[in-house]
């Protein structure tokens, strides 16, 4: 059941400004998410979406591009749905910066004339992070910041220094309560279900510590390559694109102390507190890789040493997790695609010896609507006492009344409502950069690996003695 069907209060009339509206991220993720919100009744009764870009598109030309986006990436609109959606789309060309607002001010004025001058402004920056600072300053310069909410795509900075500069710029224009730093892994249904599974079930709450858990693996292999993001990727790589953003946030979801409540303030505080307990990473506990043929891609430096793969071992210096390795792995052109958190449980001492390897595992699939997997030891039916591994899977989509929201849909909806619980805070991001600064200062040289493999063989040592559960 959707939030709207449950009687949740709808957002106020809203003018949604999408910077980078003709870019790759907008067409793949943001525009399809916004259409899903509209068709599920999760938008305000009165709303307009204004796309912004350097080109000078007519409103109708922008609508055609949005339709092409939905045709390619879904969901597919019916004729009636498209008519209702498209009539609310506008485009403001000419770019937008501190010296020249292009046509955006005029188009926003027209939108507010139609919706009411008290309509809230939500700005979404689906642009490269290098442009965040200038757009933020321009919002202040052209009086579009007061009372507005601003959604920033990841990464929020590309180094500790650039993070501090951007954070200072943002807070010179906006109050922290106006800032929404998106990380779509936090919007995944299974990531959110970690809270419920852990805090509502005594069985799992009791074992959520180093006395019962030997290791945690956060594994996000990707079969695809860099697609048409080669220019962006060759300036970013796997470390910045995935490790410094998504994977450590998932680790924080797993590792945080029980919050006082699941309110935005308490949930954010618990997540950021545990990130502060992560030990700065040792570059010797990191393996970087680059798939064969990466340098031949258009837009990639022929001599590039950019990483397309990273495996890392991190440690948390607190009473709950001291001595438990948090293993993270991700990469392009690997054997197959998965998004999985695996908690390897300690085997009980005593009566039964020689239990099967990898037989005590609690795992979560973060893909789609999410799954919970439990692997345990059972007696094989028969005359002999033979041990075997039994597995059970709970697909969250099969729960009664399940109506899962894709991550971008959930997070944009939260921004419209003013709910920041699944967004990151600056203190947590400052701690993230502190954790990864040693690696960024002394990155190992990437090791070549074959497309379709599991990456460099050197990464196996990081996961010893268990090895990586995926790819075994």
DSSP-assigned letters across all residues of 443-471: PPPPEEE-TTB-S-GGGGGGGTTT--STT
- Rounded to whole angstroms, how far apart are CA atoms 317 and 333? 34
Going from the C-alpha of 81 to that of each of 5, 55, 76, 78, the distances in angstroms are 19, 27, 9, 5
> If you search the block for the tokens 């400052």, which residue do you land on?
430
What are the CB-based long-range contacts (under 8 Å, 24+) for 453-456? 453/334, 453/335, 454/221, 454/334, 454/335, 455/221, 455/287, 455/289, 455/309, 455/311, 455/329, 455/331, 455/334, 456/287, 456/289, 456/309, 456/311
DSSP-assigned letters across all residues of 170-238: HHHHS-GGGEEE--GGGGSHHHHHHHHHHHH-HHHHHH-STTTEEEEEEEEE-SS--TT-HHHHTTTHH
Q: Establish whether 27 is an annotated binding residue.
A: yes
Under DSSP, the state recorded for 342 is E
Q: Which of 279, 303, 275, 306 is nearest to 290 (CA)?
A: 306
User: For residues 320, 270, 244 and 455, what is the CA-based torsion angle, rounded to 10 degrees?
Assistant: 40
Q: Establish whether 332 is an annotated binding residue.
A: yes
Q: Establish whether 202 is an annotated binding residue.
A: no
- Rounded to whole angstroms, how far apart are CA atoms 238 and 403? 32
Please confirm, yes or no, whether 212 is among the known catalytic residues.
no
Q: Establish whether 329 is an annotated binding residue.
A: no
Q: Establish whether 338 is an annotated binding residue.
A: no
Q: Establish whether 222 is an annotated binding residue.
A: yes
Out of 123, 142, 205, 246, which one is annotated catalytic? Answer: 246
Q: Establish whether 65 is an annotated binding residue.
A: no
The residues facing 19 across adjacent strands are 52, 125
SS3 call for 129:
helix
Q: Establish whether 184 is an annotated binding residue.
A: yes
Q: Establish whether 141 is an annotated binding residue.
A: no
Q: Which of 453, 460, 445, 472 is nearest to 292 (CA)?
A: 453
Name, in order, each residue with C-beta under 8 angstroms of 103's C-beta and a sequence gap of 6 or more.
92, 93, 94
The residues facing 372 across adjacent strands are 364, 394
Q: Establish whether 282 is an annotated binding residue.
A: no
Q: Establish whether 443 is an annotated binding residue.
A: no
CB of 230 closer than 8 Å to CB of 463? no
- Rounded to whole angstroms, how far apart are CA atoms 106 and 90? 11
Q: Which residues are annotated as a binding site for NADP(+)?
A: 20-27, 54, 154
Q: Which residues are annotated as a binding site?
A: 20-27, 54, 154, 184, 188, 222, 241, 332
Active site residues: 246
Q: Which residues are annotated as a binding site for substrate?
A: 184, 188, 222, 241, 332
């Amino acid at each position: 059941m959707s939030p709207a069907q449950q009687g949740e209060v709808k957002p106020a009339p809203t003018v949604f400004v999408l910077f980078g509206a003709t870019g790759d991220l907008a067409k793949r993720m943001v525009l399809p998410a916004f259409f899903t919100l509209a068709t599920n009744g999760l938008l305000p009764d009165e709303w307009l979406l204004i796309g912004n870009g350097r080109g000078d598109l007519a409103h109708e030309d922008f609508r055609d591009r949005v339709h092409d986006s939905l045709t390619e990436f879904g969901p597919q609109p019916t004729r009636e749905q498209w008519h209702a959606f498209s009539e609310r789309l506008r485009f403001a060309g000419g770019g937008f910066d501190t010296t020249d607002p292009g046509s955006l001010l005029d188009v926003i004025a027209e939108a507010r004339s139609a919706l009411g001058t008290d309509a809230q402004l939500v700005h979404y920056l689906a642009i490269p992070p290098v442009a965040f600072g200038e757009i933020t300053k321009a919002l202040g310069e052209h009086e579009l910041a007061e009372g507005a909410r601003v959604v920033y795509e990841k990464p929020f900075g590309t180094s500790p220094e650039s993070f501090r500069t951007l954070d200072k710029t943002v807070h010179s224009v906006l109050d922290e309560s106006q800032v929404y730093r998106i990380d779509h892994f936090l919007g995944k249904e299974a990531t959110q279900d970690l809270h419920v599974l852990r805090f509502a079930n005594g069985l799992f709450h009791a074992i959520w510590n180093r006395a019962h858990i030997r290791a945690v693996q956060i594994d996000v292999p990707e079969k695809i390559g860099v697609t048409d993001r080669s220019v962006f990727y060759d300036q970013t790589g796997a470390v910045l694109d995935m490790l410094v953003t998504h994977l450590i946030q998932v680790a924080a979801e797993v590792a945080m102390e029980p919050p006082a409540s699941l309110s935005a303030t308490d949930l954010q505080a618990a997540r950021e507190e545990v990130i502060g307990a992560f030990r700065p990473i040792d570059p010797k506990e990191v393996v970087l890789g680059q798939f064969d043929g990466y340098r031949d891609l258009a837009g990639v430096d022929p001599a590039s040493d950019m990483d397309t793969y990273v495996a890392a071992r991190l440690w948390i210096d607190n009473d709950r997790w001291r001595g438990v390795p948090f293993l993270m792995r991700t990469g392009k052109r690997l054997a197959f695609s998965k998004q999985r958190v695996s908690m390897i449980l300690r085997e009980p001492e005593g009566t039964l010896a020689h239990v099967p390897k990898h037989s005590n595992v609690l795992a979560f699939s973060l893909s789609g609507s999410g799954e919970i997997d439990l692997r345990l030891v059972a007696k094989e039916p028969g005359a002999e006492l033979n041990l075997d591994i039994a597995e059970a899977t709970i697909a969250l989509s099969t729960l009664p009344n399940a109506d899962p929201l894709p991550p971008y849909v959930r997070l944009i909806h939260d921004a419209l409502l003013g709910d920041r619980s699944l967004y990151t805070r600056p203190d947590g991001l400052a701690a993230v950069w502190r954790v990864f600064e040693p690696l960024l200062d002394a990155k190992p040289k990437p090791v070549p690996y074959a497309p379709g493999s599991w990456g460099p063989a050197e990464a196996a040592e990081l996961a010893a003695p268990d090895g990586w559960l995926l790819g075994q």
